[in-house]
Amino acid sequence: MNIAIVGTGHVGLVTGACFADLGNRVLCMDHDQTKIQLLQKGNIPFFEPGLAELIQKNIKQKRLFFSTQMKDAVKFGKVVFLCVGTPPRSTGEADLSAIENVCEQIANHLTQYRLIVEKSTVPVETGAQLKKRIKQSVRRQVSFDVASNSEFLREGSAVQDFFKPDRIVLGVENERSRRILLELYKPFNVPIVVTNVEGGELIKHACNSFLAAKISFVNLVSQVCEKVGADIEKVAEGVGSDRRIGRAFLNAGIGYGGSCFPKDVQAFIKICEKLEVDANFLKGVERINESQKKRFVEKVHRAMRGVKGKTLGVLGLAFKPDTDDMRCAPSVDILTELKQAGAKIIAYDPQAMEAAKVMLNDVSYAKTPYEVCKGADALLILTEWREFRELDLKQIKKLLKHPIIIDGRNIYDPIVPKRMGFQYYSIGRKGFK
């Protein structure tokens, strides 16, 4: 099938490259000329494991094309996926201006039936608004449909998540749209949830908000663990062993970040408020997430007996491992507060330092994880990159001015650093709070 992708960010590029790899012909469109030129050479402007290779392979096999022209996209793709950003406004509501603008452009080029599919996360009832807007702008009586087909891609494992989804969600308004999308997703052997457009839109916000709630719940429990001397790792294991709950997304730490959870929880709060539905549960999820970061800063102050004039070595800046993404990364709030309290920061992250330089000023950056330890008064762990678990703690102890590790992602078994003479602090673990 011929597919058009509008917007070449994380979601658009992964969706386009993967659909091409399944044998479809895909044209990815973006108004950013520089980005399109980069993509035509097979390069991508962000780190996502396996994506660059997939793009290069499918360009070579003439299944993946790029353009800056909406006209090309609408002419080429029977299905047009909307993959443009829906960032939060200052009020927390999703800013739909980009997706509305794109729909007007699509309407201006509609000359034959097209199925326009929301791939980006949008507030429920957006589909109905887009349909109205296209109807107003479309030149002649050309038929089109709008559908919702949310992605559940995680940064750092997006390609794998595309090919091995837990389920596919189709929000359709009629049989014709249903048939087209079922045809497109034929190669997938997973449950396909078919519902109306509103249902399709709602599933994504509900899913992300529930995952964020799981994280805030385990962080709340970690705060209780620190008070009563329980071990959050064991408590999470005990809770997560209940098949109805599941162990995933019950890892206590410094809270969730990224371009999705913070934005989607906020947007869902606004949706509930607009619909006069009680949003306090979701506000609680947000509040706990903020308190987890603040409590980590307090932990650092406690461990260091104040940070003024001290040097803190920091391992990990990205909002999670296997990505270079710093959007809403907990490290930004945490390090900003510690700098304001007079600490000097030297940081290392395998992928995110370039992105961090834009968001974190007056922070020094190191070339290796060991370099951040040289002469530092303490070592902070803010992102659980696999390589940090393999570090030589003996060498780290020699390099640090004081043997203090404050582990915001519980990457070490507390007994190990303790046996080596470190003062080891972590999240929700008895004796190491």
Active site residues: 260
Contact track, ligand UDX, 337-376, x by CB under 6 A: ----------------------------------------
Helix (H) or strand (E) holding 256: none
* Binding flag, residue 426, ligand UDX (CB under 6 A): no
The radius of gyration of the chain's CA atoms, rounded to the nearest angstrom, is 24
For residues 102 and 113, give the distance between their C-alpha atoms in angstroms, rounded to a whole number.
17
Q: Counting contacts by CB under 6 A, is residue 312 touching ligand UDX?
A: no
208 lies in the site for ligand UDX, by CB under 6 A: yes
Least distance (Å) from ligand UDX to the CB of residue 258?
Answer: 3
Pairing status of strand 404-407 against strand 378-381: parallel
Tokens of residue 168, six digits: 């596919």
The smaller minimum CB distance to ligand UDX, of residues 30 and 233, is found at 233
Q: From the centroid of its chain, how far is CA 347?
A: 22
Three-state DSSP state, 115: strand
Burial of residue 317, with CB atoms counted within 10 A of its CB: 0-12 exposed, 13-18 middle, 19 or more buried = buried
Nearest approach, Cβ of residue 347 and ligand UDX (Å): 17
- Among positions 250, 307, 353, 376, the unique one binding ligand UDX when judged by CB under 6 A: 250
Q: Contact between 256 and ligand UDX (CB under 6 A)?
A: yes
Tell me which of 145, 155, 286, 324 binds ligand UDX, using CB under 6 A: 155
Q: Is 327 in the site for ligand UDX (CB under 6 A)?
A: no
Instruction: Kindly tell me which residue out of 182, 249, 295, 344 binds ligand UDX, with binding defined by CB under 6 A.
Output: 249
How far is the C-alpha of 178 from the C-alpha of 195, rounded, in Å?
9
Binding ligand UDX (rule: CB under 6 A), the pick from 73, 106, 260, 382 is 260
Q: Which of 378, 412, 433, 408 is nearest to 293 (CA)?
A: 408
Q: Residue 251 interacts with ligand UDX (CB under 6 A)? A: yes
Taking contact as CB under 6 A, which single stretch among the options 30-38, 179-187, 258-266, 350-358 is the one that binds ligand UDX? 258-266
Q: Which stretch binds ligand UDX (CB under 6 A): 151-159, 194-202, 351-359, 399-407?
A: 151-159
Residue 249 neighbours by CB distance under 10 Å: 17
Q: How far is the CB of 142 from ligand UDX (least distance, A)?
A: 32
Contact with ligand UDX (CB under 6 A) among 78, 154, 295, 301: 154
Contact between residue 151 and residue 15 where contact means Cβ atoms under 8 Å apart: yes
Residue 403 burial (CB count, 10 A): 17
Inter-CA distances, 303 with 307, 345, 432, Å: 9, 16, 10
Beta-bridged to residue 77, according to DSSP, are: none
Nearer to ligand UDX, 126 or 311 (CB): 126
> Three-class SS of residue 239?
helix
Q: How far is the CB of 323 from ligand UDX (least distance, A)?
A: 7
201 binds ligand UDX (CB under 6 A): no
Helices 197-228 and 261-274 pack at an angle, to 10 degrees, of 110
* Shortest distance (Å) from residue 256 CB to ligand UDX: 3
Rounded least distance, CB 236 to ligand UDX, Å? 8
Q: Which residues of 257-294 are buried (b: 16+ CB within 10 A; e: fewer)?
A: bbbbbbbbbbbbbbbbeeeeeebeebeebbebbeebbe
| Amino acid symbol at 422 | F
Q: Which is nearer to ligand UDX, 359 or 420 (CB)?
A: 359
Residue 316 CB, nearest approach to ligand UDX (Å): 10
Using CB under 6 A, pick the residue from 35, 63, 299, 320 that binds ligand UDX: 320
Q: Does 295 bind ligand UDX (CB under 6 A)?
A: no
Tell me which residues in 105-144 interact with ligand UDX (CB under 6 A).
Answer: none
Residue closer to ligand UDX, measured from CB, 260 or 396:
260
The yes or no reply on residue 151 touching ligand UDX (CB under 6 A) is yes
Residues 6+ apart with CB under 8 A from 253: 219, 292, 330, 384, 408, 409, 410, 427
Q: Are strands 25-29 and 64-67 parallel, antiparallel or unpaired?
A: parallel
**Closest CA relative to residue 327, chosen from 36, 87, 38:** 87
What are the residues binding ligand UDX (CB under 6 A)? 151-155, 208, 211, 215, 249-251, 253, 256-258, 260-261, 319-320
